[in-house]
Amino acid sequence: MEMLAMPKTAFTAAGRTADPLTDITFCAWVGQAAPGDWLEYHRGFLGIDVMPGMSTLTDKDRQRLAALARAAFRACEAGLVHLVQQRLGPDRFAYLAIARPKPRATPVPLERLLAESEAA
């Protein structure tokens, strides 16, 4: 199976500084990303990693990851990104957000995405 080459404008969680990716950082990336830019926002098994009692993450990190996953889903629902997974091995995936062209008729203000994040 031939893998598609990713654009050079990639921004991966592994390539970031020591600060973990947050929902706010994710929303900021969505706001400035050009179509085709991509972001690896998690590596692991997201469904397990956000589950209390099953995750090996600390409560703080698990809650941060859950907020990040909700922000990614909202951005996808708003048509701002495609969410895809790349299988890395058994029970291990890279979770990617790929920026879509920004809608012109119905923009989603960053403030609304952040407000929905706080309400959740």
Structure tokens, 45: 């098994």
Q: Mean pLDDT by 10-residue block, N- to C-terminus, for the chain (120 residues)?
A: 43 55 95 95 95 93 96 95 96 96 73 73
113 located within any domain = yes
- Residue 114 pLDDT: 76
Whether residue 1 lies inside any domain: the answer is no
Q: Global pTM? A: 0.72
Structure tokens at 38: 């991509």
Q: Are 80 and 94 in contact (CB under 8 A)?
A: no
On whether residue 52 sits in a domain, the answer given is: yes
Domain membership flag for residue 2: no
Report the domain count for the chain. Answer: 1
Give me the count of residues in the chain: 120
Closest to 95 measured CA to CA, from 51, 38, 57: 38
**Does the residue 93 lie in any domain?**
yes
Examine residue 26 and state whether it is found in any structural domain, yes or no: yes
Answer yes or no: is 6 within a domain.
no
